[in-house]
Amino acid sequence: MKNDVIIIGAGIGGMNAGMQLASQGYSVTILEKRSEPGGKMRRVFYGDCIFDAGPSLITMPFILRDAFAQTGSVLDEYLKLLPIDPICHYRWLDGKHYDCHSNPFKRNEETEKIFGRKSMQEMNAYMAHASKVYHATKDVFLFNPFDGFKEFFKQKNLPLLPALPSLKFSTKFHSFNAEYFTNPKLIQLFDRFATYNGSSPYLAPATLMVIPFIEFEYGGWYPEGGIYAIAEAFHKRCTELGVNFIFNADVDEIIIDKNIAKGVKAKDGTLYEAQHVISNADVYHARHDLLRKSKEKKPELSTSGFVMLIPMHKNPFNMSHHTVLFSDEYEREFTAIFKDKESPDEMTVYISVSGKSDISQVCDDKENWFVLVNTPPTSGTKEWSEEKTARYKHSILTMIERFLPGMQSYIAEEPFIITPDDFSMEFHATGGSLYGSSSNSMFSAFLRPTNTDPHIQNLYHCGGSAHPGGGIPLVILSGQFAAQSVMAHS
């Protein structure tokens, strides 16, 4: 049977595209290399514990609600989102710590208590600026398909032109943060938001100020049942609407005839014909491998990550759901990652213990510690030898011990480790990058691949490496834009 639409990949972007199209009467088949839906959003059972092994924090919950509403359903019937408070607990090596709340009153109180009144005022001034930038740019850069530089010359976007200087494209994010905050710890805290899309605060444009604004304004959320409940909700809605899933189907080639996409061929040789092909795969993989464009240039990739899933015995550390342990050498970490292409030896560590917010994630007598450290993208699929992995694990545990002395004596099972090579192989993610291309240049937003392929008719892209970028809310939007493009070209 000829499908209206074939989608390569059952990531969140691909599934949203699928459910949008199916709700409009299209027949949709999703081919997924792995044996389950969700892509980088996945769940691991290990050592009597349950872990979210990918994303751990959700912002902009209204994007999830809208995605379900657009298919004629209500998110709450599929998923219960819980607000997280504090959103994140930050710690420094000198013993200082700070809880970041999205409630502005609680945030002001905590900021004044920990950093003083002046810092609290600086933070509010920062948020006021970031709010203006978010509202001026969101419709152009986030909530609509984007056509690169041409976008600016469209009649509807002309009102943005007077706001251009306040967007600070040519100022580095770190410099902007340093202009606003006098306390170096707050500069570092705000710099960290560049890592939300895998970029360096020392290279990325100040426009990234919208990321902390979004987190503070819309809060941090966690679904009851774990983050994977989101993947299950998308999968369920797709299935209700008749989307056909074929798992363990690794697509080898996108079939093109006279520059028009006609379907795909799986690695086992099966041909799937379709009127339209949406790729939820990494765009470089789609072009270089599936379209056989051997000269395709690799973009500058976002960070990859080194993950440890650690079942921990009950312990005295009283962890928050989300904790960041800051290194003292923040700039050196990013130089190591993006310039030297080496994993930093003193690193900032992120720990998420989802059982702290969600009873369904509590595992009997243990705690589920998800530990993530940013790394450079891998150069292939064999960079992370056993020896390198063991060395890095040791460095991370040593770093955690500096904040939480005795932590290692509570480890209940040998950590389950996921390296950048694993991300690369598991998801065909170029360099194992977590968020697609980096935003390290002032032109990144303009150069990100568009949702409609500019060269091949009836081919579309969604997911973290296409517009509007990585992270769960954004990939949901990218799926929506790809689906809209299919409808516009049908």
Ligand X SMILES: Cc1cc2nc3c(=O)[nH]c(=O)nc-3n(C[C@H](O)[C@H](O)[C@H](O)COP(=O)(O)OP(=O)(O)OC[C@H]3O[C@@H](n4cnc5c(N)ncnc54)[C@H](O)[C@@H]3O)c2cc1C
Residue 286 falls in which region: left (phi positive, over 0), alpha (psi -120 to 50) or beta: alpha
Count of residues near ligand X by CB under 6 A: 37
H or E element in which residue 400 lies = helix 386-403
- 415 in contact with ligand X (CB under 6 A): no
Q: Cβ of residue 367: shortest distance to ligand X, in angstroms?
A: 19
Q: Cβ of residue 171: shortest distance to ligand X, in angstroms?
A: 25
- 431 in contact with ligand X (CB under 6 A): no
Q: Which of residues 179 and 426 has its CB atom nearest to ligand X in the complex? A: 426
- Closest among 288, 284, 261 to 273, alpha carbons compared: 261
- 463 in contact with ligand X (CB under 6 A): yes
Q: Which of residues 400 and 429 has its CB atom nearest to ligand X in the complex? A: 429
With CB under 6 A as the contact rule, which of the stretches 33-41, 61-69, 215-223, 233-241 interacts with ligand X? 33-41
**CA-to-CA distance for 118 and 113, rounded, in angstroms?**
11
CB 445 within 8 A of CB 299: no
With CB under 6 A as the contact rule, which of the stretches 86-94, 292-300, 427-435, 445-453 interacts with ligand X? 427-435
174: its two tokens: 């770190």
Name which position in 3, 5, 13, 98 contacts ligand X (CB under 6 A).
13
Name which position in 61, 86, 201, 305 contacts ligand X (CB under 6 A).
305
Q: Which of residues 52 and 367 has its CB atom nearest to ligand X in the complex? A: 52
Q: Which of residues 79 and 434 has its CB atom nearest to ligand X in the complex? A: 434
State the amino acid at position 235 in one-letter form: H
Q: Cβ of residue 10: shortest distance to ligand X, in angstroms?
A: 5
95 SS3 class:
coil
CB 102 within 8 A of CB 59: no
- 14 in contact with ligand X (CB under 6 A): yes
CB 230 within 8 A of CB 472: yes
- 307 in contact with ligand X (CB under 6 A): yes
Q: Cβ of residue 33: shortest distance to ligand X, in angstroms?
A: 4
277: its two tokens: 């092909």
Q: Name residues whose C-beta falls within 8 Å of residue 200's C-beta, 6 or more positions apart in sequence.
A: 194, 334, 337, 338, 438, 440
3-state helix, strand and coil shares in percent for the chain, rounded to the nearest 5: 40, 20, 35
CB 112 within 8 A of CB 99: no
Name which position in 76, 77, 109, 250 contacts ligand X (CB under 6 A).
250
Name which position in 68, 98, 141, 427 contacts ligand X (CB under 6 A).
427
State CA 105 to chain mean position distance. Answer: 28
254: its two tokens: 């996108």
**CA-to-CA distance for 311 and 466, rounded, in angstroms?**
35
- 8 in contact with ligand X (CB under 6 A): yes
**CA-to-CA distance for 487 and 201, rounded, in angstroms?**
38
Q: Cβ of residue 222: shortest distance to ligand X, in angstroms?
A: 10
H or E element in which residue 382 lies = none
User: CB under 8 Å, gap of 24 or more: what pairs does 100-106 form?
Assistant: 100/189, 102/215, 102/216, 102/217, 102/218, 102/219, 102/220, 104/216
**CA-to-CA distance for 260 and 239, rounded, in angstroms?**
28
Q: Cβ of residue 394: shortest distance to ligand X, in angstroms?
A: 20
- 475 in contact with ligand X (CB under 6 A): yes
- 434 in contact with ligand X (CB under 6 A): yes
- Closest among 148, 163, 241 to 445, alpha carbons compared: 148
- 372 in contact with ligand X (CB under 6 A): yes
Q: Which of residues 201 and 479 has its CB atom nearest to ligand X in the complex? A: 479
With CB under 6 A as the contact rule, which of the stretches 21-29, 399-407, 426-434, 439-447 interacts with ligand X? 426-434
Q: Name residues whose C-beta falls within 8 Å of residue 161's C-beta, 6 or more positions apart in sequence.
A: 152
Q: Cβ of residue 481: shortest distance to ligand X, in angstroms?
A: 12
- 33 in contact with ligand X (CB under 6 A): yes
Rg (CA), the chain: 22
Name which position in 64, 470, 481, 486 contacts ligand X (CB under 6 A).
470
Q: Cβ of residue 148: shortest distance to ligand X, in angstroms?
A: 20
Q: Which of residues 53 and 203 has its CB atom nearest to ligand X in the complex? A: 53
- 39 in contact with ligand X (CB under 6 A): yes
CB 74 within 8 A of CB 441: no
Q: Cβ of residue 473: shortest distance to ligand X, in angstroms?
A: 6
180 SS3 class:
helix
Q: Which of residues 31 and 445 has its CB atom nearest to ligand X in the complex? A: 31
Name which position in 11, 61, 376, 420 contacts ligand X (CB under 6 A).
11
274-303: contacts with ligand X (CB under 6 A): 280-281, 285
484 SS3 class:
helix
- 41 in contact with ligand X (CB under 6 A): yes
Binding positions for ligand X, rule: CB under 6 A = 8-14, 31-34, 39-41, 54-57, 250-251, 280-281, 285, 305, 307, 372, 427-429, 434-435, 463-464, 470-472, 475
